[in-house]
Amino acid sequence: MQISDKYSPQETENKWYSYWLENNYFHSEPNEKPPYTIVIPPPNVTGILHMGHMLNNTIQDVLVRRARMQGFNTCWVPGTDHASIATEAKVVAKLKSEGINKSDITREEFLKHAWDWTDKYGGTILEQLKKLGCSCDWERTRFTMEPKLSQQVIKSFVDLYNKGLIYRGYRMVNWDPEAKTNISDEEVIFKEQNGKLYYLKYKIEGTEDFLSVATTRPETIFGDTAVCINPDDERYAHLKGKNVIVPIANRVIPVIEDDYVDIEFGTGALKITPAHDTNDYEIGQRHGLAMIDSLDDDANLNSHGLHYAGKNRFEVRKAIAKELEEKGLLLKAEDYVNKVGTSERTGAVIEPKVSVQWFLKMSEIAKPALDVVMNDEVKFHPEKFKNTYKHWMENIRDWNISRQLWWGQQIPAYFYGEGENDFVVAETFEEALVLAKEKTNNQELTTDNLMQDEDALDTWFSSWLWPISVFDGMLDTENKEIDYYYPTSDLVTGPDIIFFWVARMIMAGLEYRNEVPFKNVYFTGIVRDKQRRKMSKSLGNSPDPIELIEKYGADGVRVGILLSSAAGNDLLFDEELMLQGRNFATKIWNAYKLTQGWSKDETIKANESDRQAIEWFGNQMDKTIAEIADQFEKFRISDALHLVYKLVWDDFCAWYLEAVKPAFGQPISKEVYDQTIAYFEELMKLLHPFMPFLSEELWQNIAERSPENALVITQQKKSQNYSDELIKNFETSKDMVSGVRNYRQSKGISPREAVEVFTNAESFSNENLVKKLANISEINFARKTEKPSFTFLIGGTEISIPLSENLDLAEEKIKTEEELKYLKGFLISVEKKLSNEKFVANAKPEIVDAERKKQQDAQDKIALLEEKMKTL
């Protein structure tokens, strides 16, 4: 078929993606083939594609497309996450802009607004993934809030509650005043902030003396219920059993003793605010202290804050410091760098708060999930993340699974009275009523007497079931899909959610299927800019992936992002890599176009040079296929791409095509042409997982193909036996050709001017090929020339080219003298190092060997140049 001069990504991408969808190549049903399953890490339903998504999904698509071409029945399940905190915040903001407060409407009304928002803005990211070329089974798209998935989440809660693993407790939680919900420990990000350490004066009751207490949060004094000292601190021995008066609040509180207090920190006296600090809460529990919660859900002071009631905590911090100073109750304030907990989702400073929440006991289900990773039943790539995982799993806390939100699965606990345990847990109201009647022995109860818990479940409590729930494995535990597709094959995700998601999915898989949910976890790096900053909207340093696709083509972008993406290492984004990806696409296009410009002649037989090139490239390709398989086995996707890149750009374009290319205006042997196209087809198969659009376009251009023969479902070549010796000999031939080309370039000799060569070798491998590629008129084996020459070494083989008559010999002599001078100076420095006994004794053997090789090479080159000087 006719091929256009330039590759047009936009036209090609739309055409072939539509073709793939029309022919249902991405859809999977259980069959006799081995399955290869990946579940997508579900992005936020209303999210849009960012660089992290692009990296993650490109890697997934490479794995899926390759598996499809390796004979697997591939199933890549797409879907989105309801992202309760983020989505609810957006809906609340939208309602606010319309003059509606969440507190003024019912839960049902709010959920209608949330579903409308989701329907309007949801799913954009999945459409964007199609632009990238993602070969997901779109018919299987799931959403964590869809009825069947919600049903499975509720079923899981009820099951774990009945097993005694879920409980309701009064605990200190991490309160996000912006999202107005508590969040888990894993969702708290600690950041260093510049603040002040305030030294407050607490008057000792019954005296005129004061006790100095240091705090970073003077606004919490309204919740103080004690001052604590270390029992071994002799400075305060006289205060044991005494009381002090809280500044401004003027409340009398006791001085207590506890080993927790660090004698060296601050003044060695600690104000205890059990309602507003995790450690204070623990001390309060040990000493039976009262709890005074002086902050509301917005982190404003409440009535306990006296004249500061209604004011924001940070505003009060400044104002109260001023008041304390005016009243002589502030000793001093020092600059202080403090680590402050912030919400991973909203960025708000977390407020420790005591409340009743639902928790999942983790110690029991964590141990098996730790064991399967440590014994490599689930393999981490790179392996370094095993230590991170181990540390967290061995220090795991119970998971706070309730959230003060409406968007999410509502906790299936139904209250029938005011008592702490006046509730039942069931999947439906009807089942709850039966249980409530049994528990109370009151048959008069109706559903009107039941009140469902207002809280929703943590979003992660739905996504931890994802590899099971997408196949409805909690509804029908033995359905054919869960039996066939589970456990999934590989998971591709970021290390930042190793605890939120990866660990919990492993726990859920073992709990509900008694099987791990996946065999391999590939951790991508974090995409950063050149200044190593994480890409974010707020910094304005994150390019729009869709704009990059429009500029460089999807294949160019995929190659660009993978070239720099080693597993688990952060990726420093550079748009130049996208350009490199586009240039690679252009190189492949032009290589194919070159072959299409050749006229074929059936009467011409392949010559010796052609046969040498064909034999070498076949072996080189088999070797590279084996190396690619090895890199995929190790999940070194970037290294696998580099191998394909080298095979295409260097081996095929730079060497093979040059070797078989007919002379200008001459036809090519049809036998050689057919083999060249056969090789090109194999290259398209290897390229396809990385560059699906370009490879399919060229594949379809080579010959008319039926839908059954589309590249997307064609099987890749398996590596055959190859000859290392043949490949090694060809590398030597390449070095010889490069040496001759280097002579031409350095001396300004035209490539068209044939050269004569003298060598100490008896023969060359690939002699005909070397003569063609280097444009050598004659090779004089085992002969020296007396003429002034350009000489170079390939191993022990000496190659001399008599200098062209057009060269200025005087100038050549000056250049040779300069080169000799440099080499002799270099040799002196190397020999000086080798004569240093300390260096030779202490350096690694390979370093000493490298220096000796430098010495030998320099000596050989000097000998050649001195020989050359004689002829000059």
SS3 449: helix
The H or E element spanning position 818 is helix 809-834
Residue pair 439/130 in contact (Cβ under 8 Å)? The answer is no
Q: What is the total residue count of the chain?
A: 872
Q: What is the pLDDT of residues 193-226, one digit of tens each?
A: 999 999 999 999 999 999 999 999 999 999 999 9
Query: What number is the average pLDDT over the span 153-177?
Result: 94
pLDDT score, position 567: 57
Q: What is the pLDDT of residue 46?
A: 84
d(CA 557, CA 721): 34
pTM confidence score: 0.84
Q: Is 268 left (phi over 0), alpha (psi -120 to 50) or beta?
A: left
Per-residue pLDDT reduced to its tens digit, 489-540: 999 999 889 998 999 999 999 999 999 999 999 999 888 887 888 777 667 7
- Counting residues of the chain whose pLDDT is more than 70, the rounded percentage is 98
Q: Given pLDDT bands bounded at 50, 70 and 90, which one contains residue 170? A: confident
Q: In this predicted structure, what is the pLDDT of residue 568? A: 57
Q: Take residue 389 and report the two structure tokens written for it.
A: 């995982």
Average predicted confidence (pLDDT) for the chain? 92
pLDDT digits (tens, 9 = 90+) for 322-342: 999 999 999 999 999 888 999
Burial 353-389 (b: 16+ CB within 10 A, else e): bbbebbbbebeebbeebbebbeeeebebbbeebbeeb
DSSP-assigned states of every residue in 354-381: EEEEEEE--HHHHHHHHHHHHTTSSEEE
Percent of the chain residues topping a pLDDT of 90: 72
pLDDT in the model for residue 869: 74
pLDDT at 813 over 80: no
Band of residue 111 on the pLDDT scale cut at 50, 70, 90: very high
β-strand partners of 253:
244
Question: Is the Cα torsion angle 204, 208, 209, 211 positive or negative in sign?
Answer: positive
pLDDT level of residue 595 (50, 70, 90 thresholds): very high
Question: What's the average model confidence in pLDDT over 659-682?
Answer: 95
User: What does the pLDDT look like over 251-275, one tens digit per residue?
Assistant: 999 999 999 998 888 789 999 999 9
Q: For residue 668, give the nearest of 598, 608, 733, 734 by alpha carbon.
A: 598
Measured distance CA(672)–CA(15) in Å, rounded: 32
Least confident of 184-188, 662-666, 697-701, 770-774: 184-188
Query: Residue 300 pLDDT > 90, yes or no?
Result: yes
Residue 660 confidence (pLDDT) above 70: yes
Average pLDDT over residues 613-634: 97
pLDDT in the model for residue 223? 95
How far is CA 428 from each of CA 327, 411, 424, 450, rounded to the nearest angstrom?
60, 11, 11, 11
CA distances from 244 to 199, 211, 213, 224 (A): 15, 8, 11, 11
pLDDT at 566: 65
| pLDDT value of position 1 | 65
Q: Would you state the pLDDT for residue 332?
A: 92
> Does residue 121 have a pLDDT over 90?
no
- Please count the other Cβ atoms lying within 10 Å of the Cβ belonging to residue 461: 27
Q: Which long-range contacts (CB under 8 A, 24 or more apart) does 385-394 make?
A: 385/495, 385/498, 385/521, 385/523, 385/568, 388/495, 388/498, 389/498, 389/502, 389/503, 392/498, 392/499, 392/503, 393/366, 393/367, 393/369, 393/503, 394/370
Q: What pLDDT score was predicted for residue 718?
A: 92
Sign, CA dihedral 723-724-725-726, equals: positive
Q: What is the pLDDT, as a whole number, of residue 218? A: 95
